[in-house]
Structure 1
Amino acid sequence: MFKRFLADRSGNLAIIGSLSLLPLLGTAGLALDISNAIKVKSELQGAADAAVVGSITDKSDGVAQAMAMSADGTVSLSETEARQIFNAQLSTTAVSDVPGQAVQPPPEDMETAARVFTVSAVKSGRDINVSASFSTLVPTTFLRILGKDFIRVDGVAKATFQSNSFMDFYMLLDNTPSMGVGATPADVDKLIAATKNASDAGSRNCAFACHIVSEKGDADKTSNYFVARKVGATIRIDVVAQAVAALTREAEKTETYTNQYRMAAYTFGQKAEDAKLYQVSKLTDDLKDIQTKVDTISLMSIPYHGYNGDQITSFDQALTRINTEIPAPGDGSTAAKAEKVVYFVADGVGDSYKPSGCTKKTTGGRCQEPIDVSFCKTIKDRGVKIAVLYTTYLPLPTNDWYNKWIKPFQSEIGTKMQACASPGLYFEVNPSDGIESAMKALFVKIIRSPRLTG
């Protein structure tokens, strides 16, 4: 009987199946428990990602704290906000945010339990860097058969907020006689029609509103400037002044934090007899005050038509002098380290006494040329940005003076103005375009947007 028992092969499948059941159940349990651990990690990773990003939005308390800091360092409010956001994302999870706390076995009746969540937020220059890590033990079900009660999961999350810079804007506005041209084609036509019978041949059929003032200082009511006012024609310098005021309002709305933008305004002078850099408003964070003061900007006056051989527009002098007004630029991380930007608005044609160094031919020392970009380079080499709004210089094909002296380099005017600008900070606007819209568009280019990376 014993020999028959040993030789009997019936019932093998049941025995083998019984012996295989334990590893099969373990394998199936491994898949289910790992799947659950992955689900838990995904939930925690999402909460950590939300925490680091949410703690450095442009309106968060942490960013406000960082922008008020005079030096680099820990941003405690961002760390607090990150913990609060992480906790809020895990309403069914027990969370301990004590940095470095050791992982403890979680209660068996809870699906997950995060026992460690650490976060660090540090300001470094314009950047606020936030990093967080989490670690938890996920209870198992089937793997307990194999003696494994928990699966450990952990992860990290990082984000960087690059703040908008603190910026100081130095508005350099060309108010020389060439900016007396009609602001739009309709204004040009209106001026030409209104001056067709002018007694002064130089003012007849003229699209320019020359601001002529008598030697006694009283305004000459027959000058084209007053003709323009009488017939309601708008000239370019009027639009530029209005656009600067609108730009300050835009800056107020765009500010992410207090006193982020400061502005100063300058023109080429109030009158031709004393043409020099004129401060309309000193650098200030009171943008409403700037709005009030730019309303006073007017076309430069001249004592009579053809004064000083029309040699009144010296870009060389204006750029040299404004360069001395600007202190060393910073990285934009604080108000004390503000970036510096020259916001330059002009039609791009210089006309001054420059017997040597003129980039075009002269006549009796009179230099008519596109802007000499070497003066722009001197400013940019200091780390100061130059934003250029080029108000297109209009061809005057029926004018002999234009045909002889300006037409030969007409094609270079815009090119040189663009070369004067810092990369990407150039905008051209012709009389049929809106100068105000162009100034705002250029402003947006300058300030850029914050950068969040996770």
Structure 2
Amino acid sequence: MRRLFNALASFRRNASGNVAMTFAIVCVPVIAAVGCGVDYSRTNQIRAKLQAAVDAASVGAVSRTSPAFIAAGAMTGDGVISVGNDDARSIFNGNMSGANGYTLDRLTPEVKKTGAVLTATVSFSATVPTTFMSIVGYKTMSLQGSSTAKASMPKYIDFYLLLDNSPSMGVAATPADVTKMVNATSDKCAFACHDYNDANNYYNLAKTLGVTTRIDVLRSATQQLMDTAARTQTYSNQFRMAIYDFGASSKTIGLRALFSLSSSLTSAKSAAGNIDLMGVYGNNDSFTADKDTPYTTVLPAINNEIATPGDGTSGSPLKYLFFVSDGVADESNAACLKPKASGNRCQSPINPALCTALKSRGIKIAVLYTTYLQLPTNSWYMSWIDPFNKGPFGPSPNSEIAQNMQACASDGFYFEVSPTQGISDAMNALFNKAVADARIAG
């Protein structure tokens, strides 16, 4: 019996196995903690993939080439866009193709149009099975996430082009062309006047000489503008165009529609080919007595043609007036800004007050000033135009003409074309600015 007691006492005093036993006991929570970290890290990787997929789905669903964006353009009201929901789901699935280690419990895309804004919200929930955490009772980990993207829809805009085709737009387009005309005419005239009473008029002479006039450049620029609009629009009917001038001849002078408002930009380009210089009937024309730039009648008339501007949606487009002119009135006007020439003739810079009525209605006016070139060999020009066609330091851009044309324009929508610049580039620049301005304003 004593031997048994001695053996038990010896066992009780022996500590040689304590480290191993302690290590075994401590390893359980350590291994569990490391395992939880592995599970958590893997779950975070899956979460990142899922979040990236819903981000791609929300952004892609409202991109400008997406089915939802196209469908929204045809909608007259607000609402959910089912093809957008399908597209978002497809984008998500494409981004998660080949990924595993999770179960997708829910994917909820919602693409909708509200006013001029397209919104895509994509949310998900998923579960990820655990390996080590299951030891402590957590067999799965739940994941949730969402992403929202918004896009402003393109604005619908109606453009009204008011093109000055009065005789002064028959002036040679460049200094070289001016010189060519001056050298070829007995009275040193740079104007290619379209005079029906003279078979050998300077209009025909300019064509014979190959002289390019301002009206020629304007015609080409207007046609190119239609190509720019066609390339720029997102929807086939986003932009509508109307083209007006001051009349075919002095006999029928007044606002004339060369092309009524339409979304057919191809037809508008074709109609722009008919832009031409106003015809007159000799000196002291029996119809207008040479007063062929009637701003005080043409601008109010175009105001009556333009409907109330809207908010830029498909059924309520914005309204822009593109006014292209050399800025000199020539008419019978009791409220002339300058001393009248003989025969009660008012030749003066445009009166900016004529543009106020349009701008006060919310119509944006883009003014392209085709610089009135100085014509020192023309006595009439030197007597009546030159005094207000130069500023304190010389000719434009300090002239009264330039200042009044700029005052006519809406803020930021004035462009002056010098003799060496292109009207086409200027018109395209104004058009692009109008589209950008409409997007920002919206």
Shorter-chain TM band: 0.7 to 0.9
Change (3 A) 1:296 1:133: same
**2:141 is the alignment partner of 1:151:** yes
Map of 2:195 onto structure 1? 212
Q: CA deviation at 1:13?
A: 4.6
Give the letter aligned to residue 44 of structure 1.
L
**2:320 is the alignment partner of 1:330:** no
Judge conservation of contact 2:133–2:139 (CA < 8 Å) in 1: yes
- Unpaired runs of 5+ residues, structure 1, are 94-109, 198-203, 215-219
Q: Percent identity over the alignment?
A: 40
Q: CA deviation at 1:370?
A: 3.2
Change (3 A) 1:72 1:389: same
Give the letter aligned to residue 232 of structure 2.
T
Judge conservation of contact 1:125–1:331 (CA < 8 Å) in 2: no
Deviation per residue, 1:269-306 (Å, 9 max, x gap): 22224421111111122222222222222111222235
Q: Distance in 1 between matches of 2:294 and 2:227?
A: 30
Q: CA deviation at 1:405?
A: 4.1
Q: CA deviation at 1:240?
A: 0.8
Higher mean C-alpha deviation, range 25-34 or range 293-302: 25-34
Give the letter aligned to residue 43 of structure 1.
K
Q: Distance in 2 between matches of 1:370 and 1:143?
A: 85
3-state DSSP of counterpart to 1:159: strand
3-state DSSP of counterpart to 1:270: coil
Q: Distance in 2 between matches of 1:39 and 1:116?
A: 19
Q: Distance in 1 between matches of 2:108 and 2:10?
A: 70
Q: CA deviation at 1:172?
A: 0.5
Change (3 A) 1:21 1:418: farther
Map of 1:407 onto structure 2? 390
Q: CA deviation at 1:222?
A: 2.8
**2:405 is the alignment partner of 1:426:** no
Q: Distance in 1 between matches of 2:375 and 2:21?
A: 106
Which of 432, 436, 440 aligns to 1:444? It is 432
**2:361 is the alignment partner of 1:382:** yes
Give the letter aligned to residue 444 of structure 1.
N
Map of 2:218 onto structure 1? 240
Q: CA deviation at 1:239?
A: 1.4
Map of 1:130 onto structure 2? 120
Which of 283, 288, 311 aligns to 2:291? It is 311
Q: CA deviation at 1:408?
A: 5.2
Change (3 A) 1:274 1:154: same
Change (3 A) 1:44 1:230: same
Judge conservation of contact 2:159–2:240 (CA < 8 Å) in 1: yes
Q: Distance in 1 between matches of 2:234 and 2:389?
A: 45
Q: CA deviation at 1:184?
A: 2.4
3-state DSSP of counterpart to 1:448: helix
Matches within 5 A, 1:81-160: 81-92=87-98, 110-160=100-150
**2:63 is the alignment partner of 1:48:** no
Judge conservation of contact 1:164–1:448 (CA < 8 Å) in 2: no
Judge conservation of contact 1:167–1:340 (CA < 8 Å) in 2: yes
Deviation per residue, 1:94-152 (Å, 9 max, x gap): xxxxxxxxxxxxxxxx5112211111111122221111111111222222233222222
Q: CA deviation at 1:250?
A: 2.6
Judge conservation of contact 2:389–2:401 (CA < 8 Å) in 1: no
Normalised by the size of structure 1, how large is the TM-score? 0.84
3-state DSSP of counterpart to 1:227: helix
Q: Distance in 1 between matches of 2:125 and 2:306?
A: 52
Judge conservation of contact 1:45–1:155 (CA < 8 Å) in 2: yes
- Unpaired runs of 5+ residues, structure 2, are 1-5
Give the letter aligned to residue 382 of structure 2.
D
Map of 2:173 onto structure 1? 183
3-state DSSP of counterpart to 1:122: strand
Which of 367, 370, 374 aligns to 1:391? It is 370
Give the letter aligned to residue 301 of structure 1.
G
**2:213 is the alignment partner of 1:225:** no
Q: Distance in 1 between matches of 2:28 and 2:361?
A: 76
Deviation per residue, 1:401-440 (Å, 9 max, x gap): 2333433585143343333333333333222222223222
Give the letter aligned to residue 26 of structure 1.
A
Judge conservation of contact 1:355–1:366 (CA < 8 Å) in 2: no
Q: Distance in 2 between matches of 1:294 and 1:178?
A: 19
Q: CA deviation at 1:5?
A: 7.3
Q: CA deviation at 1:39?
A: 1.4
Normalised by the size of structure 2, how large is the TM-score? 0.86
Map of 2:68 onto structure 1? 62
Q: Distance in 1 between matches of 2:416 and 2:402?
A: 8
Aligned-residue Cα RMSD (Å) equals 2.8
Give the letter aligned to residue 203 of structure 2.
Y
Judge conservation of contact 1:161–1:450 (CA < 8 Å) in 2: no
Map of 2:265 onto structure 1? 287
Map of 2:248 onto structure 1? 270
Aligned length: 422
Higher RCO (C-alpha under 8 Å, 6+ residues apart): 1
Change (3 A) 1:449 1:119: farther
Q: Distance in 1 between matches of 2:324 and 2:423?
A: 10
3-state DSSP of counterpart to 2:389: helix
Higher mean C-alpha deviation, range 359-368 or range 243-252: 359-368
Change (3 A) 1:373 1:34: farther
Matches within 5 A, 1:62-81: 62-81=68-87
Change (3 A) 1:423 1:33: farther
Q: CA deviation at 1:354?
A: 2.5
Which of 152, 157, 182 aligns to 1:167? It is 157
3-state DSSP of counterpart to 2:189: coil
Give the letter aligned to residue 246 of structure 1.
Q
